[in-house]
Structure 1
Amino acid sequence: MIEKEFTIISESGIHARPATVLVSAVSSFECEVYLEYNGRNVNLKSIMGVMSLGVPNGARIIVSANGTDEDAAISAIQDVLQKEGLGE
């Protein structure tokens, strides 16, 4: 299992469009991918789960992946967060 911490830098946090982009980025991976914020952990492949967290600007999140392609999944999330201006 791999975990990586990110800080959300988008002014509006993770709302519907960024949540959709994140879910799309990991949907094709076989491994389990989770997003943790404020003590809650949700499946990152679930748009409703991600949106239910209400992640605001400045939040620190942890993305974890467990499975055969976990490295690639974490790398994909990191790329999307940076490319979309969501996190660092």
Structure 2
Amino acid sequence: MTEKTVVIQNSTGLHARPAALLIQKAGSFKSSIKIIKDGREADAKSLLGVMSLAIKGNESITLRAEGEDEAAAIEAMTQFLESHQE
């Protein structure tokens, strides 16, 4: 299992469009990927799950991946979240 805390750089947070792009990226990995915010956890491959966390800009979240490509998954998700500004 690999975990990493990330600060959301998109000033409007993870609204529908960036959340959909994130889910698309998560879906390209075999590992189970979770997003954790304020003690609540959601499947990073589920749009409803991610949207239910109501992640705003400049908030911290934790990414947790478990599986054969977990390190690559965390790296790709982190890179997207830290660089995506819409």
Aligned to 1:78: 78
How does 1:49-88 map onto structure 2 within 5 Å?
A: 49-85=49-85
Amino acid aligned to 1:66 = E
| Structure 1 position 9, deviation (Å) | 2.3
Question: Unpaired runs of 5+ in structure 1?
Answer: none
Question: Unpaired runs of 5+ in structure 2?
Answer: none
How does 1:16-31 map onto structure 2 within 5 Å?
A: 16-31=16-31
Aligned to 1:10: 10
| Structure 1 position 28, deviation (Å) | 1.8
| Structure 1 position 8, deviation (Å) | 1.3
Q: Distance in 2 between matches of 1:58 and 1:80?
A: 14
Identical-pair percentage: 37
Q: Distance in 2 between matches of 1:62 and 1:82?
A: 13
Residues 19-47 of structure 1: CA distance to partner in whole angstroms, max 9, x if unpaired?
00110111021110000011100000001
Runs of 4+ in 1 over 3 A off after TM superposition: none
Instruction: Report the TM-score, using the length of structure 1 for normalisation.
Output: 0.90
Instruction: Please tell me the root mean square deviation across aligned C-alpha atoms, in Å.
Output: 1.3
Residues 67-86 of structure 1: CA distance to partner in whole angstroms, max 9, x if unpaired?
01001101110221133137
Aligned to 1:37: 37
